Copies of this chain bind each other. A is one copy, B any other.
């Protein structure tokens, strides 16, 4: 259970940081750990710099290659500002995740050029064919952040994805690269990396948080581009959505609600009335 293991590990990493200034661990043979940013934010809420990463099943194709050799390998990084403000980056190192390809397939749309390549290693347009090629491991897959080839610097996203593989799997002696995949008898056996770093070893945490708040305020105060409404910083959209959910409830699709309801009934748990 990646979720339970990861929460426990981040708690230990934070405890170690409290005692020694910094806490770091990596984990092998785990399972899907949920939201990377959740663990990084645990540290940020205790006046620490929080980092969380995981490797994932190989879906990403290196620059100039035609087959997958790394996952969407997310990086999460969080630091606190004043009064609950937080800079919280949580990003896949591929341009998009498989979810976006699936949405394009459902909506019958052509893929954007920087998202994926087909079995020939060139930009893929058809999401249905791509998903099939990926499923049957015929080649092709997601592009690293920066897209195809070198013109938009796709090798940088590729480099970041490999960095995540190194910090998670190579430090822990786990499975890496193209070998990370689900099989009929095992999950992908993914590896994680967690770090917490005490801010007070650098400077007064109050002053640090004041500067973070000033930085974030400066970013959102920037004049938007022609046609754009606002300038965000990492985590702001999610934080605003969280606040909306706290008052208005969590929006669920009919399908998700049905699954939750059936699961609850199967376990003889009370099902709350949905707000419609």
Contacts and interface: CB of A to CB of B under 8 A. Distances in A.
Given A95-B152, A203-B171, A117 B225 contact: yes
Contact of A163 (B89, B95, B121, B122): B89
A170 interface: yes
Interface in A155-204: 155-160, 162-163, 165-167, 170-173, 176-178, 197, 199, 202-203
A275 interface: no
Interface stretch (A5-13, A57-65, A251-259): A57-65
Given A165-B215, A212-B166, A231 B63 contact: yes
B162 A197 contact: no
Given A91-B153, A95-B146, A121-B225, A163 B77 contact: yes
Interface stretch (A128-136, A216-224, A241-249, A264-272): A216-224
Contacts of A153: 91, 95-96, 145
Nearest to A171: B202
Contacts of A215: 162, 165-166, 170, 176-177
A26 B225 contact: no
Contacts of A199: 171
A65 B197 contact: no
Given A65-B222, A202-B172, A211-B173, A228 B26 contact: no
8 smallest beta-carbon distances between A and B, as pairs = A121-B225, A89-B159, A159-B234, A64-B228, A171-B202, A65-B222, A120-B226, A91-B156
Interface of A: 22, 24, 26, 49, 62-67, 69, 77, 79, 87, 89, 91-93, 95-96, 112, 114, 117, 120-122, 145-147, 151-153, 155-160, 162-163, 165-167, 170-173, 176-178, 197, 199, 202-203, 207-208, 211-212, 215, 218-219, 222-234
